[in-house]
Amino acid sequence: MKFTSVFDIIGPVMIGPSSSHTAGAARIGRVARDLFGRQPKKVTIHLFGSFAETYRGHGTDVALIGGLLNYDTYDERIKTSFIEAEKQGLSFEFIPETAHTEHPNTARIVLEDDEGEMSVVGISIGGGKIEVSEVNGFKLRLTGGMPAILVVHDDRAGCIANVANCLAMHDVNIAHMEVSRIERGHTALMVIEVDQNIEPKVLQQISLIPNITKVSKINT
């Protein structure tokens, strides 16, 4: 765990009882929604380790659904997120798993609607901090603490440079970047954390670059 201030250890302003199991869970749900790009119609949430053992008692379940409804950690509506989800037509299922994972507070969220499906693996590392470790089978490291762009693209020469050049043209500074691919020469994923929120016109320009198939963002 990496903390930069005493406030990281105390944790965020939140609906309790636990920064790891409640605030972290809400942030995982909210980041998953951002990556999906819209509110899903159905989610299946696989819980591992401590999440699987205590998700009802620690409010992990209502927090995850609250995040998927775009609620922040301090939103009072987290307490009634199941009711709100039903009103908004979001169906959900929790599946406690027994398989071992690298971190005890792990959730795999499968989001679905009529347009498609996405799988997101998130972990709560303490103090309300999270990391996304996988998206649709691509391994990555995304903290959710900075604005970020995820770019799905063909694994071709020049894609990374073209995206970086587009960001530079708009004075967007890259703080952290990594690229993941499942198989050489097929589909790859760029994860780019940046210093400022991204304007829609920048995302639109990136989406028009050759060999780019999908662009999504997380703003803070």
Number of domains within the chain:
2
> In degrees rounded to 5, what are phi and psi of residue 28?
-60, -45
Same domain, 106 and 33: yes
Going by pLDDT thresholds of 50, 70 and 90, the confidence category of residue 1 is: very low
pLDDT at 3: 43
How high does pLDDT run on average in the chain? Answer: 88
* 143, part of any domain: no
Report pLDDT digits (tens) over 45-75. 999 999 999 888 888 999 999 999 999 888 9
Cα 34 to its chain centre, rounded Å, is 7
- Residue 89 contacts residue 99 (beta carbons within 8 Å): no
Q: 218: pLDDT confidence band, cut at 50, 70 and 90?
A: confident
Q: Give the mean model confidence (pLDDT) for residues 27-48.
A: 94
Domain co-membership, 166 together with 60: no
| 2 occurs within a structural domain | no
Query: pLDDT tens digit string along 154-167?
Result: 999 999 999 999 99
User: Is 132 buried (19+), middle (13-18) or exposed (0-12) by CB count in 10 A?
Assistant: buried
Q: What is the pLDDT of residue 100?
A: 82
Q: Is the pLDDT of residue 32 over 90?
A: yes
pLDDT in tens, 102-131: 888 999 999 999 999 999 999 998 878 899
Quick check: 17 pLDDT over 70?
A: no
Q: Based on the fold, state whether residues 161 and 103 are members of the same structural domain.
A: no
Domain that holds residue 211: 148-218
- Contact (CB, 8 A) for 149 and 198: yes
Share of the chain above pLDDT 70, in %: 90
Reduced to 3 states (helix: H, G, I; strand: E, B; else coil), residue 42 is strand
Greater confidence (7 vs 102) lies with: 102
Considering the entire predicted model, what is its pTM? 0.81
Is the omega angle on the peptide bond into residue 17 within 30 degrees of 0, that is, cis?
A: yes
CATH number at residue 183: 3.30.70.260
Give a yes or no: residue 3 inside a domain: no
pLDDT of residue 18: 58
User: What's the pLDDT at 163?
Assistant: 97
What single DSSP character describes residue 44? E
- Identity (one letter) of the amino acid at 114? D
- The answer to whether residue 43 is domain-embedded is yes
Residues 73, 128, single domain; the answer is: yes
